[in-house]
Structure 1
Amino acid sequence: MAGYQKKYLPIFFCVAVALGIFIGSTLNYSSNPTNLLGGNAKKEKLNRLIDYIDYEYVDPINTDSIVEVTVNGILENLDPHSVYIPPSELQEVSESMKGDFVGIGISFYNFNDTIAVIQAIPGGPSEKAGIRGGDRIVAADDQSLTGADVLDDSITNQLKGQINTKVALKVKRPGVDGLLDFKVTRSVVPLKSVDASYMATDTLGYIKINRFAESTPEEFEKALLSLKRKGARQLVLDLRGNPGGYISAAEQIADQFLKEDQLILFTKNKTGKIENAYATDEGNFETGKLYVLINENSASASEIVAGAIQDNDRGVIVGRRSFGKGLVQREMQLGDGSAVRLTIARYYTPTGRSIQRPYDAGNKAYYEDYLSRYKNGEMQSADSIAVADSLRYVTPGGNVVYGGGGIIPDVFIPKDTNYEKEAITYALRAGYMSRFIFEIIEQRRPYFNSLSYEQFQEEVSISDAQMNDFVAYLNARNLKIRIRDYKADLKRYLKAVMAQQLFGNTIFEKLVNEEDPAIIKIKALSREE
């Protein structure tokens, strides 16, 4: 799994890292599990040190924190993608990868010390009960959810619960006197991994996947079949910014495009055992023209899909060189509510290439490789991408591909690194744009909630005054920017975020993509077919 951030506790950091280095250097991977985990000297040495600290150290110490830092120190010396997940985070991580949770189904802000509903998730229990954007949830089961002292965790705990249990909500709706009462039955709420699917042209469909969760293959197939019914004979699969996820989900997505018995990938563990994954005869898009969009933040399972498509000469890879993660992790429970994701194998694309970037210089250098891509110019030019002739491979169709650090696209799209454009993107990712737009909608909530999408497109535009207000909003939050050359881009993003809050992610992606250089290029390529 890529993109998971490690958290290090400051207490005894130096001691813990030293322990981690010592233990990491003495792990013998040729030993059997009994020798590794049994009553050997190395394990006893670590246990004895922790006991000494627990019973003899001059100040009271939480030895649980020492253990966690030690675990992180050990993993730090293995590879960048073996990570520890503490008990406090495991449930959230598991829900994200499973693709659902049990709750009432809303997205919300803690706005002015009140839960303000951004949107009731379509098809979820809150939408079915009648809750809508702009509602304020002031109490759940007679427990107040307002005030500065109410923490996000307590809010979440009140709204989540066991499946089929009911929660009584008191809601303040703008423009309505008094409080409204709702009884919402908690149910399984999907965490969508397919962000958007729509027809980009009369024959070109578009699907964006944000991660590879358990639910992704089913979500994707549903979206794909819907687009085919609408006339899609060509498809854009957008994996930009997708950090990866389950290999099995990536295999099932690749299987949709490849013919039976075509190799998707193979893995190799420390003993040299090789396991191959082949496509089945169940693909729903084995012949239509395919374009796969990737960038420097497409990793892991995203690279598996892109590599399988490229190595089988099945489609066109468009964008920039991907992240370069070719390691396989397995999640293992540690018995106290925590878990470790441990690297257990490497994977290889069908031509036999590993796309894992070197990590022998340490984790810091590994993750700072992103900055070096700016410096060496490869964000602007494909000619600046360093390749090694020793890692040269040839596909069955005669196309040359390279291993050693990500998937290199067939069609390169440079990154716009202008400061204004980068600032707009950052403001979007950091949530500033979403909060600002929420406040604009709140000023005329009844009007905005009454709009159809067609009415929204015709009647709503972002004015110069609103654009300038947003710049001032950012400046007041210490993000100092000026917008001179990218005013149209900023207005388009602000309107797209407004559409997202009113109508969902698909409309957001559709509006943002209207001027996207990669989508424009793909549309041009699709017309040449």
Structure 2
Amino acid sequence: MKVDKVYFPLIIFTAVAVGFLLGGIFIKAPVSEKQNAENQTKRKLNKLIDFIDSDYVDEVNTDSIVDQTVNGILEKLDPHSVYIAKNEAEEAAQSMKGNFVGIGVNFFIDKDTVAVIQPIEGGPSEKAGIKAGDRILSANGAILFGKKITTEKLYSKLKGEPNSEVTLLIFRKSENKKFKVKVIRNVVPVKSVDIAIMLNKTTGYIKINRFAETTYNEFKSGLNRLIKQGAKSLVLDLRNNGGGYLEEAVFISDEFLKDDKLIVFTKNRKGRIDKTFASDKGAFENGKLTVLINENTASASEIIAGAIQDNDRGLIIGRRSFGKGLVQREMLFDDKSTVRLTVARYYTPTGRSIQKSYKEGNAEYFNDFMHRYESGELYAKDSIKIADTLKFKTPKGRIVYGGGGIVPDIFVPIETAKGNEIIPLLMQSGAVTNFVFTELDANRRAFKGMTIQQISAKIETSDVYFNDFKNFINTSESFIDLDSNKNYVKRYLTAEFCRQLLGENQYYQIVLKDDTMVKEALKH
């Protein structure tokens, strides 16, 4: 990869559409005299805060006042200039590291108790003998059940230094017994590449959920494995990927593009342009490539999709992406909170800005999914609003558009029936995980030793689990019509049973088999 005048490190923060941020690219700001210069306006604000802190009639948390003030200022700028409080900033940084130090379990709170969905394969808990369905009652004597239990308390007790020891009190429901077990905390990977598998003898598939510090290494490892297995074509799945570290997205783009091909460039208020080019070291520069995107594909994911489309390197399949093309610079405060301020726009190789309009305010901006639904865009490509004034040409003469996300080369409508657009989000949410865990927890022995084919037959040839899931969802006071999408719902229920019983690979074997975008990719 070659870089021309680029502001490294370029960093992206990510969350999917339902998260608290969606794909903000930022670069760390150097401390400048201008930032440190204290003018009268700054002194006025500081003096007011000090006055409230010392003399206001009631006790006031001035930190919260400052937070509200900063938020109020940034909200008037653009949707991606944001203030992140200390606790949120720490969580955001943790989620993007690609690993953490802990005991290595997937869990949720079941009736005020920590229930283990699965120990992470090869992690500390699995090595210590903890199993799916176990309840963690205490850690080093600290009680971890009851109505007052919080996620913060759980993390504080279960995380720690590498090689530190924690004694857990476990209740194993299947054996109706309590016992103590010592777990040695260690580094636990948090995968950003969900899966890298072969769809057929010559086509590989890689799904990336975000761009964390370890994503490129995870991707390269998966890609090399697929090439050894005979992959001549690749399906890269960036659906629901809200972004991540820009360097990781650029490194991945470089694997597909030939030497000196432009990947992305940025432009700031003063007109400075910084370009990033591909190197001659790509491992998949000649194989056939398709990239899957949808309305929740944002930021760094859009950089990859734009680079592939604008360089005529492969096909983009799916639905119009989110439309995030702003670059932020990060400023860290002494209390570890941060501000991310928009300082530039990024452009795809043909010169497109894919940033959608935010003139109507942040609420309208982040509610774009509903506008796309109401316009019919989720079901028909003809409903996508395209500005002819933002028309660009690729080197081979293909017409591409700017002004609001990446428009796919091949459109694939949303799978569910009209009026049920929430179902795909539901079926990939924690609700399905919790339901399946509850069903297994009630009778785990009934599934013991089952193969993927036997699990599929058990879930899909009967309506028992489908109806149970309907009751499970509707008792949460959010009625959703699942009947018109029964096969879709059953597919994801089957996949989740397979994941909790057999593993991640089996989950994707079920999900991808009837995935409409994957089917379309295989045609091409």
Q: Taking structure 1 as the reference length, what is the TM-score of the superposition?
A: 0.89
- Residue 76 of structure 1 pairs with residue 65 of structure 2: no
Q: Superposed, which structure 2 residues align to 1:281-300 within 5 Å?
A: 281-300=280-299
Q: Superposed, which structure 2 residues align to 1:207-286 within 5 Å?
A: 207-286=206-285
Per the TM alignment, residue 294 of structure 1 is displaced from its structure 2 partner at its CA by: 0.5
Residue 98 (structure 2) aligns with: 99
Per the TM alignment, residue 462 of structure 1 is displaced from its structure 2 partner at its CA by: 6.2
Residue 340 (structure 1) aligns with: 339
Please identify, of 144-153 and 110-119, the stretch whose mean Cα deviation from structure 2 is larger. 144-153
Q: Which amino acid aligns with 1:5?
A: F
SS of 1:167's equivalent? strand
- Residue 425 of structure 1 pairs with residue 428 of structure 2: no
Per-residue CA deviation, residues 215-266 of structure 1 (Å, 9 max, x unaligned), is 1101111111111222211111010111011111110110111112111111
Residue 115 (structure 2) aligns with: 116
Per-residue CA deviation, residues 477-511 of structure 1 (Å, 9 max, x unaligned), is 11223443322222111111111222333332331
CA distance in 1, matches of 2:309, 2:416: 27
More helix by share: 1
Per the TM alignment, residue 99 of structure 1 is displaced from its structure 2 partner at its CA by: 1.2
Residue 310 (structure 1) aligns with: 309
Q: Cα distance 1:487–1:388, how it changes in 2: closer, same or farther (>3 A)?
A: closer
CA distance in 1, matches of 2:490, 2:459: 11
Residue 479 (structure 1) aligns with: 478
Kept after mapping to 1: 8 A contact 2:169/2:178: yes
Per the TM alignment, residue 464 of structure 1 is displaced from its structure 2 partner at its CA by: 1.1
Residue 158 (structure 1) aligns with: 157
CA distance in 2, matches of 1:322, 1:495: 28
Q: Cα distance 1:304–1:47, how it changes in 2: closer, same or farther (>3 A)?
A: same
Per the TM alignment, residue 33 of structure 1 is displaced from its structure 2 partner at its CA by: 4.2
SS of 1:45's equivalent? helix
Residue 3 (structure 2) aligns with: none
CA distance in 2, matches of 1:146, 1:462: 38
Residue 469 (structure 2) aligns with: 470
Per the TM alignment, residue 452 of structure 1 is displaced from its structure 2 partner at its CA by: 5.1
- Residue 366 of structure 1 pairs with residue 365 of structure 2: yes
The number of residues matched between the two structures is 500
CA distance in 2, matches of 1:438, 1:250: 34
Please identify, of 145-154 and 401-410, the stretch whose mean Cα deviation from structure 2 is larger. 145-154
Q: Which amino acid aligns with 1:289?
A: K
Per the TM alignment, residue 146 of structure 1 is displaced from its structure 2 partner at its CA by: 2.7
Q: Cα distance 1:140–1:452, how it changes in 2: closer, same or farther (>3 A)?
A: farther
CA distance in 2, matches of 1:243, 1:251: 15
Q: Cα distance 1:142–1:35, how it changes in 2: closer, same or farther (>3 A)?
A: closer
Per the TM alignment, residue 141 of structure 1 is displaced from its structure 2 partner at its CA by: 1.6
RMSD across aligned C-alpha pairs, in angstroms?
2.1
CA distance in 1, matches of 2:424, 2:223: 28
Per the TM alignment, residue 470 of structure 1 is displaced from its structure 2 partner at its CA by: 1.4
Q: Cα distance 1:390–1:481, how it changes in 2: closer, same or farther (>3 A)?
A: closer
SS of 1:492's equivalent? helix
- Residue 517 of structure 1 pairs with residue 516 of structure 2: yes
SS of 1:485's equivalent? helix
Residue 11 (structure 1) aligns with: none
Residue 146 (structure 1) aligns with: 145
* Structure 2 alignment gaps of length 5 or more: 1-12, 22-30
Q: Taking structure 2 as the reference length, what is the TM-score of the superposition?
A: 0.90
Kept after mapping to 1: 8 A contact 2:417/2:484: no
CA distance in 1, matches of 2:452, 2:505: 12
Kept after mapping to 2: 8 A contact 1:420/1:483: no
Kept after mapping to 2: 8 A contact 1:327/1:346: yes
* Structure 1 alignment gaps of length 5 or more: 7-31
Please identify, of 417-426 and 99-108, the stretch whose mean Cα deviation from structure 2 is larger. 417-426
Q: Cα distance 1:177–1:433, how it changes in 2: closer, same or farther (>3 A)?
A: closer
Q: Cα distance 1:175–1:370, how it changes in 2: closer, same or farther (>3 A)?
A: closer
Residue 383 (structure 1) aligns with: 382
CA distance in 2, matches of 1:519, 1:395: 25
Q: Cα distance 1:465–1:180, how it changes in 2: closer, same or farther (>3 A)?
A: same
